[in-house]
Structure 1
Amino acid sequence: MRLTKVLFRQHLGWHTKMKWRTQKRRNIQDERVVANLKDIGLPVIDPYEEFVAEPKMPDLPAEFVDPVAPELHDRNEKHPWWNSRICHTFGDGNVLIYGEKQAQVLSKTLLVNELPENIQKLAKNADISDETEIQVKNSILQAHLFDSHQEKLAIKKKPDQPMWVYPRDWGITDQRKNRYITDKLLQYCEKLTDASVTAQRKILDNATFIVPFESDGNLIRFQKTAEHFLVSKQPLKPIADVSKAESELPDIHPLHSNISIDKENIYQNKNIYPIQKGANFEHPHTAFVHYTPLDVKTITLEPVSEDQVASRVLLKAFTVAAAKAQSVYGADVQELPKPITVQCVQVHVNKFYFGVYQLNTLNLQGDSSTKNYWFKVPPKLLYTNCEYLESRPVLKNYNGDVLRHTLAFYQNQ
């Protein structure tokens, strides 16, 4: 046994700590350096205030403050945006009570239960290596299990005992999972795509679209957000083959097309497309939207059904295409001189909804024979289970078809 030096309580570390504790209480003496410099006429600059601190913005006069801020105006007839005509406003957190059939009637859209032929070919011929598949699987594990960012999850409820209080769980939220896996899939699509095609694409985050239109004598206003919005230099080509589309719109009688949509008198009747007309990347290509049960509710507070989730994708794609049409052809456009095609992908943790929308008309209340078209396939599962089993991360039933379809959407021109 080797003998070591005995350290008493008052060793070097203790003395150093005591010295810092004593010295920090000393008052800083004024050496009159600043005063002496000013006496001889030299300017003195505070480096923190000059180079580090952010400049303080002066308070705006009352007449320049946002006149429509909720805290400044009551939501009544005195509000600056008050309109006597009721507007049916539909946002990201709403769903239609009658699901996809109501969405078809509302947007005058015929359904096609398959994707366009060119996308099917691109998905079938997609060349994806085993190494890329492994990277995608690792990204799924990272998004769902390995992410160190933890937040409070949704409150659990017992249907038979609604007053029962569960302890709040901490974990990775659905919003964070959706955003991470979408970012990763887009990165892999860029790697697997030729540079000449990638140069034609650009991605925007949280793009907002607002579209007012008339339907059955009612003013309706869609306000939607695409968490990832892929734009391109050239517009997507119109889909020529619509022979497999439904022949007629569904009948939802006795329900009205605007049922379950909130009524509002405070609004601005204007359309918003997030990219200025004439910009280099102005054409819509693919909208990636996210769905989380915590943020989307029905008007009856019942659980959101699968059909209602599917209708949400249709209306998102319609809003993007209609916003672009009103931006190009004007707010009063009815029959479009040239169709506008938009692709849409909705992400719900491990479930992906793929669809393509072709907008031909915004005459949604007339008897015109021109209809819009929505091409879609049943939702695809990226995997069935991603969890810890016996303290080991396990990913079950990975489906590479999701990556192939995402790549086909990205490469479609």
Structure 2
Amino acid sequence: MPKITELRGLFKPFTKPLHRQWKYVWQEKGKFNEPKLTLPKALNGRQLNIIDPLHDPDPNALPDESTPWTSPTRHPMFEYLVPPLPREQHPLFHHDQPVFLFDSKTKLHAGVDQACLLTKAIPFYELPQSIKQNLDKISIPNQDDLIQSYIRQSIAYDATKEHLPRKSTPLKQHRSFRIEYGIPRSRQMSILFENILHLCESLGGRYPDLFKRHLYRNTPFYTTYERYGEPIHLRNKNSYVLTSHTPLSPIVKRLNKLEISSGEKNDEKLSTHDPDGHYLMKGNDYQFLNMYPVYPTIDLQPEELYQDGDELGWRQRKTNEYVHTTFYVSNDELIHESTTDERLARMVMFAFGSALVQARQQYPNGNLIKPVTVQSVFLLDELFHFVVFQLNTLNYNETNDNRYNYVWIDKDNYMYDNRPSMVMHNPVYGTERNLQRYVLEKLKYNPDVFQKFLALYLQGIQGKKE
């Protein structure tokens, strides 16, 4: 125990504040013990220049400051330490050939007609005859009751309760609403779509070819092609992509009879007995949109940072995989952000891009021997759009080529009705809970939409298990 004389002067109660007493003790009795530099055992015996931070550094041990330091990996956490590269030094920058970018945010003011002009396609506003024939042939036991239960689950029976976005009022009325918690619209659509897809997969016992398919989610997609002498770059992120081990058979197989017209001297036998003749005659009557003096790429933004080549979003396996159907689940916050014509134009462009990449992989020499067919489905709440695209030619700039691509569009298919929109303030229902009760009580289900979805899903199956 220290003596009183040793403690004298250390603390003087009632004379100085406590912090001043500690300062006095440090000045009088404080000592600084310099720590010794210790090296790990792994560094012993190596010829390394060790820099002691407590002493002046050795100038020979410091790195040369004339060479700038560059980060080995550009991690987002350390981006503030690394200056961004100039635009001209970016690895994806193209000096000589900028392109026109078409992505999920691009809006074509002429809609489907402008998209058909960019893809050299002739539209038919109906489902193909080969798909219509299979609408009522295949059914699942209790499918209507199951679909209605899926709809109720997506709207009210899911346990997810998240902070919903604030409601807005028209005409910029300054009103405040209570914070609501419920199922987000994106999750509602994903629940409904995935349950419908699982119901279609339940037919694998009758159709074994369904077990050979693969489903990919959130896959990147991009490709580049040239139209009217201008390069166009398609880029998107597919929500779901369904692939099959065999490609889809073309809808129109006879492409060498395009000289047939729909006038008085048409071939009646071809138009009545041949299913291809109906589309060939309609294709001859179609007139492409005349946008002169405006170029069809007026709505596309020029881009100099893009990736060359083609990308479908998955690695090639040992067995061949072909695009069967692409699914797009809309992420629009407002249902009126885009018109129906603008959404259909995007579907036509991206379906064309998927068919183009598949054709380039099947026929690297550029000679398209057999048409390539790709299907596409769009989902926004209870609204479904169906698109079937058939790629017949890879010559987009030759005026002498009389072959055109075909696209079938079936739009505005509502799986259920009587659902008011709650994005805007609705004084009748008020809250999201009242909306859920209304949908559960007064749901009007349309069974025809699922039959179309099932017919598209089962398109291309080979054999039936007996």
TM-score (norm 2): 0.67
Q: Is the 8 A contact 1:277 1:328 kept in 2?
A: no
- In the alignment, which residue of structure 1 is the partner of 2:90? 79
Q: Is the 8 A contact 1:206 1:228 kept in 2?
A: yes
Runs (4+) of structure 1 exceeding 4 A deviation are: 64-67, 69-72, 162-169, 386-392
1:113 to 1:152, Cα distance in 2 relative to 1, 3 A: same
CA distance in 2, matches of 1:282, 1:162: 53
Q: 1:375 aligns with which of 381, 384, 408?
A: 408
Q: Is the 8 A contact 1:143 1:180 kept in 2?
A: yes
1:276 to 1:295, Cα distance in 2 relative to 1, 3 A: farther
- In the alignment, which residue of structure 1 is the partner of 2:348? 314
1:357 to 1:389, Cα distance in 2 relative to 1, 3 A: closer
CA distance in 2, matches of 1:76, 1:237: 45
Q: 1:95 aligns with which of 107, 132, 146?
A: 107
CA distance in 1, matches of 2:326, 2:381: 16
Q: Gapped runs of 5+ residues in structure 2? A: 1-69, 253-275, 420-432, 461-466
CA distance in 1, matches of 2:209, 2:321: 16
- In the alignment, which residue of structure 1 is the partner of 2:384? 352
Give the CA deviation at 1:354.
Answer: 1.0
- In the alignment, which residue of structure 2 is the partner of 1:325? 359
Q: Gapped runs of 5+ residues in structure 1? A: 1-60, 297-301
Give the CA deviation at 1:316.
Answer: 2.2
Task: Answer yes or no: is 1:207 the counterpart of 2:219.
Answer: yes
- In the alignment, which residue of structure 1 is the partner of 2:18? none
Q: Is the 8 A contact 2:155 2:436 kept in 1?
A: no
- In the alignment, which residue of structure 1 is the partner of 2:453? 406
- In the alignment, which residue of structure 2 is the partner of 1:239? 251
CA distance in 1, matches of 2:306, 2:379: 30
Q: 1:267 aligns with which of 297, 306, 316?
A: 306
CA distance in 2, matches of 1:295, 1:266: 30
**AA matched with 1:125:** K
- Which has the higher Rg, Structure 1 or Structure 2? 2
- The number of residue pairs the alignment matches comes to 344
CA distance in 1, matches of 2:127, 2:140: 21
- In the alignment, which residue of structure 2 is the partner of 1:341? 373
Q: Is the 8 A contact 1:110 1:371 kept in 2?
A: yes
Q: Deviations over 1:71-128 (max 9, x none)?
A: 7534622322221232212222333222111111111111012212221111122323
CA distance in 2, matches of 1:252, 1:346: 28
Q: Is the 8 A contact 1:276 1:282 kept in 2?
A: no
CA distance in 2, matches of 1:292, 1:408: 26
- In the alignment, which residue of structure 1 is the partner of 2:444? 397
1:202 to 1:281, Cα distance in 2 relative to 1, 3 A: farther
RMSD: 2.8
Q: Deviations over 1:225-248 (max 9, x none)?
A: 221211111110011223344533
**AA matched with 2:120:** K
Give the CA deviation at 1:371.
Answer: 1.1
1:390 to 1:307, Cα distance in 2 relative to 1, 3 A: closer
- In the alignment, which residue of structure 2 is the partner of 1:305? 339
User: How do 1:156-171 and structure 2 match up within 5 A?
Assistant: 156-161=167-172, 169-171=180-182
TM-score (norm 1): 0.75
CA distance in 2, matches of 1:178, 1:254: 42
Task: Answer yes or no: is 1:112 the counterpart of 2:124.
Answer: yes
Q: 1:183 aligns with which of 183, 187, 194?
A: 194
Give the CA deviation at 1:211.
Answer: 0.9
Q: Is the 8 A contact 1:271 1:327 kept in 2?
A: no
User: How do 1:21-40 and structure 2 match up within 5 A?
Assistant: none
Q: Is the 8 A contact 2:150 2:195 kept in 1?
A: yes
Task: Answer yes or no: is 1:385 the counterpart of 2:396.
Answer: no
- In the alignment, which residue of structure 2 is the partner of 1:283? 322
Q: Secondary structure at the match of 1:88?
A: strand
1:97 to 1:163, Cα distance in 2 relative to 1, 3 A: farther
Q: Is the 8 A contact 1:86 1:263 kept in 2?
A: yes
Task: Answer yes or no: is 1:122 the counterpart of 2:134.
Answer: yes
- In the alignment, which residue of structure 2 is the partner of 1:47? none
- In the alignment, which residue of structure 1 is the partner of 2:71? 62
1:388 to 1:251, Cα distance in 2 relative to 1, 3 A: same
**AA matched with 1:161:** K
Which has more strand, going by share of residues? Answer: 1
User: How do 1:123-142 and structure 2 match up within 5 A?
Assistant: 123-129=135-141, 131-142=142-153
1:176 to 1:93, Cα distance in 2 relative to 1, 3 A: farther
1:341 to 1:254, Cα distance in 2 relative to 1, 3 A: same
Q: Is the 8 A contact 2:327 2:376 kept in 1?
A: yes
**AA matched with 1:109:** A
CA distance in 2, matches of 1:389, 1:181: 17
Q: Deviations over 1:287-312 (max 9, x none)?
A: 1111232299xxxxx94212111212
- In the alignment, which residue of structure 2 is the partner of 1:173? 184
Task: Answer yes or no: is 1:248 the counterpart of 2:287.
Answer: yes
Give the CA deviation at 1:314.
Answer: 1.2
**AA matched with 1:111:** P
Identity among equivalent positions (%) equals 26
- In the alignment, which residue of structure 2 is the partner of 1:224? 236
**AA matched with 1:352:** F
1:94 to 1:147, Cα distance in 2 relative to 1, 3 A: farther
Give the CA deviation at 1:168.
Answer: 5.3
